[in-house]
A and B are shown apart, each in its own frame.
Chain A
């Protein structure tokens, strides 16, 4: 089955700086890669996703890049703000099957004022 590795487990950045979270996956058949944000005590929420036929996708201050050859994808947050503090999870979905998403272990992003 799919295995997703996520790094770092904790990331602390100064407010206004950029943050990058990286994930690798094992199943070359995976073709859908969403990112979820989970604030303390709340549910995970989808913030951006990318499909395997696209190399990059951007939505305001967040962007995701995908390298299918290397089997890794990354989340980029620019001009970080205090409300960006949360745990971020990457996930991968193997194409065509009835499996659910396989998630990474999460990255605790801390925005320092």
Chain B
């Protein structure tokens, strides 16, 4: 384990379901991120949280709703998703959002929307 834990590892959901992805980091980092990884595409930044405040929403559809109750936990709430939302969702953390800090990634949640 690298200190960033994501659950569940795999998730299959229907388009009308509501589910949540969870991320927890034990590294004492202050910034947390959600990225989407699809085949043949670069890692796409979705949300950035710094000291549990959202600092970036990269034009993500409202069917994705993030929540950051504290600097160690990050959630991604999902509802009425589309099949094209099927992807690997990666959580990452870093010491801060300023440049020069590398990210530690979690293992990701493989999401399939049916």
Contact = CB atoms under 8 A, between A and B. Distances in A.
Q: Is B a genuine binding partner of A?
A: yes
A80 to B, nearest CB: 23
A101 B2 contact: no
A4 B102 contact: no
**Interface size bucket, B side?**
20 to 34
Interface residues of A, number: 30
Interface string A31-42: 110101000001
B55 A98 contact: yes
A96 B98 CA distance: 6
B105 A45 contact: yes
A89 B56 contact: no
A103 B105 contact: no
Interface of B: 2, 33, 35, 40-43, 45, 48, 50, 55-56, 58, 90, 97-100, 102-108
